Amino acid sequence: MTGNAPRRADALRNHDRVIAAARELFAERGLDVTVPEVAARAGVGRATVYRSYPSKEELVLAVARESFRALEERTLAAIAADDAYRAFVAYLPDLLEHLRRDRGLAAAFLEARLVPAARLVDLIGRLVEAAKAAGPLRPDTGVLDVRIVLCGVIRQLIVLDEREPAVWRRYADVILAAFRS
C-alpha cells in the first residue's frame, strides 16, 4: 500500500476481476451478495477478495464511490441552479432512475452509517431547503423528510423488488407531491 511496490501482474489482474464481479453482482442483487459469491464470479478464492478489501464494507465503498461522487455533483449543481425548485423537480426522477439501475448503489444509499450515503442525504436536504425558497413546497420540509419519505419509498421499492421504470418514475412524482404544500 504505502510503499507502492510494484505488485505482481496476477495480483493486479485478480484485483480487477474482483471489482468487476462485485460491481455486477451488487448492481443486480444489492448488497446482500456474499463475499464467497463475489469470489466465485471473479474466479478467485475468498482470501483474495479480503486481500484487496479488508472487509466487505470496503469493497462496497470501492464499488460505489464513483457513483456517489457523480450523484453529489448533480446534487450540488441542482442546489446552485437559478431556479432550485425546478432543478429539484428534474432532479428527483433522475436520482431514482440511477438507484433503480443499480441496486447496490440504492442499498448503499439507504445505509445511514455509510459516510458517502449520509453526506449525499444531507446534500439532498440542502437542495430541498433551496427549492423551498423558490417554489411551492411545505414550509416545514427539511432533511428529515428526505430521510423518511424519499428513503422510505426507495427502500420499499427495493424490498418489493420493483424494477419497472414506469413505477419508479411515478413515485418520483408522488414523493414530490408529498413535499408540496
Which one of the spans 37-45, 103-111, 141-149, 160-168 is the region binding DNA (CB under 7 A)?
37-45
Which one of the spans 2-10, 78-86, 133-141, 155-163 is the region binding DNA (CB under 7 A)?
2-10
Binding site for its own copies (CB under 8 A): 112, 138, 140, 144-145, 147-149, 151-157, 159-160, 162, 167, 170-171, 174-175, 177-178, 180
Which one of the spans 45-53, 107-115, 120-128, 141-149 is the region binding DNA (CB under 7 A)?
45-53
Strand partners, 137: 180
What's the burial of 90, exposed, middle or buried (CB within 10 Å: 0-12/13-18/19+)?
middle
Q: Which does 147 bind (CB under 5 to 8 A by kind): its own copies, DNA, none?
A: its own copies
Q: Which does 46 bind (CB under 5 to 8 A by kind): its own copies, DNA, none?
A: DNA
165 binds DNA (CB under 7 A): no
Residue with cell 424519499: 150
> What distances in angstroms separate CA 141 from CA 50, 107, 133, 146, 149, one per listed residue?
43, 24, 11, 9, 11
User: Can you say whether residue 51 is alpha, beta or left, with left for phi > 0 and alpha for psi between -120 and 50 degrees?
Assistant: alpha
> What are phi and psi for residue 180, nearest 5 degrees?
-75, 150
Which residues of the chain form contacts with DNA (CB under 7 A)?
5-11, 14-15, 34-36, 43-48, 50-51, 54-57
